[in-house]
Structure formats: structure tokens, C-alpha cells
Amino acid sequence: MLPGSTKLITRQLEKIIDQSSLEARSDRVVIDEYDEGGKFKHENVMIANVKDRNHFKAYKENKFYHIPISSLSKLRPNIEYLAFYQPKGNGNNNDKFSEEGGVRYYGKIKSCKEYNREECVEIKSRPGTEKKQYLRIELEEIKETTKIEPIQYGTRLISYTTIYLLKKAENTHELKLGSSLELEVYKIMKKISKAKEVEIKKISSKAKNDEEEIIKEYSIGDINIKIDGAIIKVINKIVLLKNIETELISKLGAYKK
């Protein structure tokens, strides 16, 4: 992270939080939550990994979250909400999440500030970390959403999604859907996955120096599917959306609908 960049991010967050609705509309592009851009592109929700049950209890009861500033190299300045990712444990550690794992809670950001770790009265600091700088994010309230199941891999530290996807997603793959076309393809894959009892995996294909995935790629069973803009490919064969289910069935074998 560049020197001073965290302070710039903090000031930008404070500016967004302090603006009235009218000021916000005149200062930045108004995003419709339900148009294509609002649904899939306006990633204004930060999903934050929660260390354990004790941390989450403190966050939920006191409506805040904090994170070391040294971990903020990928923090974006346009976030308005924060959601908690509760990673599943192995069931042998009472401090970890098991069946409760996934995304279940979120809140609208109220304010933020930088402070030393020792200033957090809700969670005692470990010896040697007292002077470590943290960003503390205060939330207006914490709401519960439909549980979003972890699939394949979850949020390691922080990731981003849109408020539309946060409210609609059933699993963590769906938090990163990038278009209506990808959504429709994923629905078909889920239907077939359930019927055939085969796993859907997401394949990362990020371009260098770019956080946004250029080509979305999945596998269902042994079948590779790519979504490149308006083009769908099944094992490198271009397939129309209306034919995608038939094509996948033919590759995986017939199943009972």
C-alpha cells in the first residue's frame, strides 16, 4: 500500500458516510440497485473474514468491525456496507464456525476511524500488538440475510460484492456473478449439479494487474464452461443460452428432470 493511501481511503469513506442523499446524488453517479450495473458491477459491499466466534460476538453486539491497516492493500473507497464471512472450521474447535459458516449478517457503514489496537475495549489485544494500527468501521445496525453457503473456497481476508447479490445469493460463487447471462448459466449449472450430484467449481482467470475477472470460467463434473462477454463456450464450443442445458446434459449424460 502506498504511504498515506489508508488515510485517503478513510477520508473517502467518511465523505460518503457524511453526505446527505441529495449531496451524494450530485457528487457521484446514482446507481440503480436493480439495473445491470447495480446488480453486478457496483460492488459497494465489503465481505470481511471473521477470525472466530469470540470476535464475531464482539462485532455483532457492538456493531463494528476492525482490521489491521497493514492488510488493507485491496480496500476500495466506494464501500457502503460490510458483511461478515464466518469460515467453517473442522468441528473440533469451539472457537471456529461449523454449520454456522458462510455469510449471514451485514450492516450499513456509519463511520470509520484509525486507532491503535489497544484502544479497542471490546476485544483484548494480544501482547506485542498494542500499537498496531487498525481501521475500525462502525455499523448503523446489523441485519440478518438469507444464509449464503460457503462453496469451494470463501473469503480469506476481504472481498467485494453488490448489495443486490448479497441479498439474492445462495452460495459464495453467486456473490461474484458478473452479468445477467452468467446468472442464467449458473442457474442451469445448479439445476444439473443437483440432479446429477456433480460439483460446480469456479476457475479463476484474473488478468494481470486487474482485479476484475475478464473471462468467467467454471467446471461441472469434467465439463469446462466459459463466459466471455455475451459468448458461452462448452468445451470451447460456442453454445446459445437456450441450448446450454441440452448441451450440458448431452455431455454429462441424461438425467431425470
Over residues 156-185, the mean pLDDT reads 93
Predicted confidence at residue 204, as pLDDT, reads: 74
pLDDT exceeds 60 at position 191: yes
Tens of pLDDT, residue by residue over 197-255, are: 999 999 976 544 345 567 899 999 999 999 999 999 999 999 999 999 999 999 987 45
pLDDT exceeds 50 at position 77: yes
pLDDT exceeds 80 at position 82: yes
The Cα 9–Cα 169 span in angstroms is 28
pTM for this prediction: 0.81
Predicted confidence at residue 25, as pLDDT, reads: 42
- The strand order across the sheet containing 237-238 reads 200-203, 216-220, 223-228, 231-234, 237-238
